[in-house]
Structure 1
Amino acid sequence: MTDMLTIARPDDFHLHLRDGAMLQGVLPETTRHFARALVMPNLLPPVVTTADARAYRDRILAVQPEAAGFTPLMTLYLTETTDPEDVALGAAEGLIAAVKLYPAGATTNSASGVRNFDAVRAVLERMAEIGLPLSVHGEVTDPRVDIFDREAVFIDTVLDPLRSATPGLRVVMEHITTAEGVAYARAGGPDLAATITTHHLILNRNHLLAGGIRPHYYCLPVAKRESHRLALRAAATSGEPGFFLGTDSAPHIDALKEHACGCAGCFTATNSLPVLAQVFEDMGALARLEGFTSRHGAAFYRLPPNTGTMTLERRANPLQLPEKILTGAGPVTVFDPGFPLYWHVAP
């Protein structure tokens, strides 16, 4: 049995850092392990212009730990009034790594998202010209569509027509949760990729609902049937370059998770790498972990791979982690995979 694995330092291509006291509290949990992260723009108010993104990046850099060696990759929140030239200027500056599409009302702080896709046509065409990726939260928000079907319906009714209407647009299907998402990503060619989260490799909907509601397992897109989880595991561990890690680590204070209308999000920044090592070991695919965490995403985003390395060690004693991260905004519960973690990140 392999008991040590050295990989290029990982990247996280989907991360929520929030702002203010929460940002300061959770950022070290990411910088401890990840060299870069694609930072989501759904703040209140959202990050909608290059100037907004520059200011947010500066706030992140101001509170990162010393010698962290961490680079935040900034995104813009796509709205129906987004200026195509502002997007292009931000990309040319090297500041903007992607533009994020939230269908209005799909998830946390998405009220400013897109309702009329014709209104963003010029932005998408400009992005296709310059090769800037569109990062997509892929769910419809029509209340007539069952929540467990919203990803598959989005692919058929929104994403496929959008891509057909905008040749050359580079798209990342964020946090896919279904076998349909896996199949579409596989068939989409070199301009399409998909991120897979740590928690969706662990959870199915029974974990969330059977025997009681577990709010710290509630996320959007919501976890699906076991058959979908197994399809995600097969994709993540396949070695195919179109699949890579985006943790979607999303901190909320416990008071807002354990609530009559609890917030969506799993906080996985603290333990994603040990959890992933266990998943890949279980699948007989440890040799492919580096591709998923450190190579494929960088290649799609046209970034050089990280030069630093990380070593994971399988030890006899399980990893001991805090149940909660204490932030100035309040306590945040760390994702519990439901099994002991024997893989440790070496200091």
Structure 2
Amino acid sequence: MQTLTITRPDDWHLHLRDGEALKAVLPHTVRQFARAIVMPNLKPPVRTVADAAAYRDRILAAIPAGQRFEPLMTLYLTDNTTPQEITRAKESQFVKAVKYYPAGATTNSDFGVTDIRKCNRVFEAMQEVDLPLLLHGEVTDQGVDMFDREKAFIERHLIPLKEQFPNLRVVFEHVTTSDAVQYVLSANNVAATITPQHLLYNRNAIFQGGIRPHFYCLPVLKREEHRLALLQAATSGSPKFFLGTDSAPHPRDGKESSCGCAGCYSALHAMELYAEAFESVDALDKLEAFASFYGPDFYQLPRNTEQITLNKTTWRVPDEVPFTESSLVPLRAGQEMTWQMADANLAKEG
């Protein structure tokens, strides 16, 4: 296969940051994706509908001229989120979900939930108005091994949560283990996003020839057996699994430091990375549904009607791209790719 044309995809888990950083990275996403679920972990976080509306306006203002893109907003769940704010979120029509971060779990998660049980009234409201819950599914207990935190989260928190709120729609974000795959397949009203790095790499990538900080993300890459389980899930045709890059821009000096930031930047070439992953198991015919159909279906949104085309050609990922006062190192920087997205004319209508 030399060309692959599919319905224009969406990114169901994306970090855009704000200010000059937003302006630097947004064009990479807009080039490929029609919509994206935008993460709320700014400083300060997006905690209210008013915060989300203001952030949405800043995103819309940063879209390159002549391009069409819809940011789908989320609220940052805290110990103090109220059921009334959930009602306002649903009524807004532009807030599509609420994001749960365990306090201290990842970048800008210091405002996160200290005890998930404190949010039961909020979960009741979300279940009632049918607003999805997006979970960063890791425990932060220092007594739990870094590579076991997703499994522990399922056992300690996710299973009890779904038993108490069976009709709550949940997205288990950026799943990384076979344990998560098995749980998602067994649970009602639960779906999952999968990142390109977790489909393409196992934890060895972080340590090949030294510390490779640009492969460090949270949840961290896992063993090869887990990567294979994710790849099987993504290419299985199950509507429970769909595309979410978790693309997370950090300046080079923030990654290459004595205490480097967690996050892989894949927005530059996300669809090319996913195409390589799917091709590795001869499943390119399953890419369109994973990237373009299952996400909108879960979020109860229409599927896109535009198309994109990927061509089989060799090109080199740049070593870095401009980013605020520093630079940004994309995933697989300096290495060759075997698929490339054709330039698309996605001009605004009207």
Fold match (TM-score > 0.5): yes
Q: Hey, what's the Cα distance between the residues in 2 that align with 1:234 and 1:56?
A: 36
Say yes or no: does 1:128 pair with 2:109: no
Listed one character per residue, the Cα deviations across residues 132-154 of structure 1 (whole Å, up to 9, x for unaligned) are: 11000000000000000000000
Question: How many residues matched?
Answer: 343
Counterpart-to-counterpart distance in 2, 1:37 and 1:170: 18
SS of residue matched to 1:302: coil
Distance in 1, Cα, partners of 2:241 & 2:285: 15
Structure 2: runs of 5 or more not aligned: 344-350
Residue of structure 1 in register with 2:223 after alignment: 225
Structure 1 segment 199-214 matched on structure 2, within 5 A? 199-214=197-212
Query: Mapping of 1:55-74 within 5 angstroms?
Result: 55-74=54-73
- Pairing of 1:1-347 with structure 2 (within 5 A): 2-189=1-188, 191-315=189-313, 318-336=314-332, 340-347=336-343
- Which whole-Å deviations, capped at 9, do the CAs of 1:6-61 have from their partners, x for residues lacking one? 11101000000001111110010100100000000000100000000000000111
Secondary structure in 2 matching 1:195: strand
Deviation at 1:202, TM superposition (A): 1.3
TM-score by length of 2: 0.96
Question: Which stretch shows the higher mean deviation, 25-34 or 87-96?
Answer: 87-96
Shift of 1:210: 3.6
- Contact kept? 1:21, 1:329, Cα under 8 Å: no
**CA distance in structure 2 between the partners assigned to 1:320 and 1:147 by the alignment:** 33
Contact residue 99 and residue 135 of structure 1 kept, 8 A: yes
The aligned amino acid for 1:332 is L
Q: Distance in 2 between matches of 1:261 and 1:25?
A: 24
**Gap change, CA 1:281 and 1:339, over 3 Å in 2:** farther
**TM-score, reference length from structure 1:** 0.97
Cα offset for 1:5? 1.3
Shift of 1:171: 0.3
SS across alignment from 2:127 = helix
AA of the residue aligned to 2:265: F
- AA in 2 matched with 1:279: A
Cα offsets for 1:147-182 (capped at 9, x unmatched): 000000000001111111112100000000000011
How many angstroms apart in 1 are the aligned matches of 2:3 and 2:107?
Answer: 38
SS in 1 for 2:6: strand
1:338 shift after superposition: 8.4
**Residue type matched to 1:141 in 2?**
T
State the distance in 2 between where 1:199 and 1:88 align: 35
2:145 counterpart letter in structure 1: D
Q: Which amino acid is 1:299 matched to? A: D
Q: CA deviation at 1:119?
A: 1.9
Equivalent residue letter for 2:66: A
* Structure 1: stretches of 5+ with no match in the other structure: none
Separation in structure 1 between the aligned mates of residue 324 and residue 67 of structure 2, nearest angstrom: 21
What is the distance in 2 between the residues matched to 1:338 and 1:83?
Answer: 47
Give the secondary-structure state (helix, strand or coil) at the position aligned to 1:228. helix
- Cα displacement string for residues 88-133 of structure 1 (whole angstroms, at most 9, x for unaligned residues): 2222221111000001111001111111223211111111111111
**One-letter code aligned to 2:244:** G
